[in-house]
Amino acid sequence: MHPATAIEQLPAAALFAESISKSFMSGHQRTQVLDGLTLSIDAGELTLISGPSGCGKSTLLAILSGLQKVDSGRVQALGSELGQLDLRALERFRLQHTGFVFQGFNLFPALSAFEQVELPLNHMGLSRNEARRRAQQSLEEVGLAHRMRLRPSELSGGEKQRVAIARALAKEPELLFADEPTSALDAANGQMIIDILHRIARTHGTTVLCVSHDPRLVVHADRVLAMEDGRILSDQRPDTSDNGTPS
């Protein structure tokens, strides 16, 4: 366990944001995207952030993952205050503790599925054998053991997203961030991605934070946060039979 720094939080909180605000300038126009938002995300859960386009949910995800800085407020992830980390320490934190899954897959055209997954593991300083073991295991977990030698051009959209999930999963991150992971996929492939994200939270104890318009995610989420105009409108825990025991 990482010790808490400055913020008094329950040990179960993997992410904590306090009074965070963020705005962007476009010419002379200033747009307030997040407005004094406070939020705590529990460890080992699949949390869904939903809301209309432009409500601030992707910006919130970027801030909680350390990809963007806040204008005011503070963010704590796994006991580290992200605002107190310099650029190098922040990059190291993201490399060691976080995984990312994006709408556009973010795969390298020239690399095979196996090489896509193995690449970040080499940057983490793992031995070649350990990196290969993890890459193989992660691709097997998402059902792509038989496709691991293929390049992105030879894979379907659903398979590309599963490669992206395997790449994140192989790092064994405590935090997994997914930004619209099903929006580019048909119903069957979208459902498969949802099932995988759900299983990762359950079996690995990973904190999965997902931004999505996809209503199918709701039934799989431990918690659903609805956003509008930079604020959280509702915070609900769907009552489903397989959501585990109450905390």
**pLDDT, tens digit (0-9, with 9 covering 90-100), for 192-210:** 888 899 899 989 999 999 9
Least confident residue range of 23-27, 69-73, 131-135, 146-150:
23-27
pLDDT at 27 exceeding the cut of 90:
no
The 10 Å CB-count burial string (b at 16+, else e) for 153-166 is eebeebbbbbbbbb
Domain 43-62+93-236 has CATH 3.40.50.300: yes
In the block, tokens 């992830």 appear at 77
What distance in Å separates the CA atoms of residue 105 and residue 226, rounded to the nearest whole number? 25
Cα(139)–Cα(116) distance, rounded to whole angstroms?
10
Helices 187-204 and 157-170 pack at an angle, to 10 degrees, of: 10
| 0.75 surpassed by pTM | yes
Indicate the DSSP class of residue 110. Answer: T
Q: Which pLDDT belongs to residue 129?
A: 95
pLDDT score of 244: 42
**Helix (H) or strand (E) segment spanning residue 101:** strand 98-102
Tokens of 155: 């894979």
pLDDT over 80 (residue 8): no
Average pLDDT, the chain: 87
3 has a pLDDT exceeding 70 = no
pLDDT at 240: 53
Could you report the per-residue pLDDT of 93-142, keeping only the tens digit for each? 998 999 999 888 889 999 999 999 999 998 888 999 999 999 999 999 99
Nearest CA to 49 among 37, 40, 58? 58
Among 117-121, 177-181, 184-188, 199-203, name the one with the lowest average pLDDT. Answer: 184-188
Q: Distance between CA atoms of 26 and 29, rounded to whole angstroms?
A: 5
The phi and psi torsions of 153 (rounded to 5 degrees) equal -65, -20
